[in-house]
Structure 1
Amino acid sequence: MIEVFDTFIEQTPIYLAELEAALVARNWLKVSNGAHKIKPTFTYIGRNDVKDFVSLIENNARNQVAIEQIPGDVERLKELLNEIYAQLQVAKAEMQSNII
Structure 2
Amino acid sequence: MNLSENSNLSNNKLYNLDVIDKMCRGNKEQIIKMVEVFIDQISEAILEMEAAYSENDIVKFKKITHKIKPTLTYYGTSTLEKKLVLTENLVSKEIPSDELKLEISNLKSISKEVINEMKNDFKITNI
| Bin for the TM-score computed over the shorter chain | 0.7 to 0.9
Among the aligned pairs, what percent are the same residue? 26
Is residue 44 of structure 1 aligned with residue 74 of structure 2? yes
- Structure 2 residue runs without a partner (length 5+): 1-30
- Structure 1 residue runs without a partner (length 5+): 94-100
Q: Partner letter of residue 43 of structure 2? A: P
Q: How many residues align?
A: 93
Greater fraction helix: 1
For the aligned residue pairs, the C-alpha RMSD in angstroms reads: 1.8
Superposition pairs of residues 3-82 of structure 1, within 5 angstroms: 3-64=33-94, 67-82=97-112
Q: Partner letter of residue 23 of structure 1? A: Y
Output the TM-score relative to the length of structure 1. 0.79
Output the TM-score relative to the length of structure 2. 0.64
Distance 1:49 1:14, change over 3 A: same
- Matched residues in 1 for 2:74 and 2:120: separation? 17
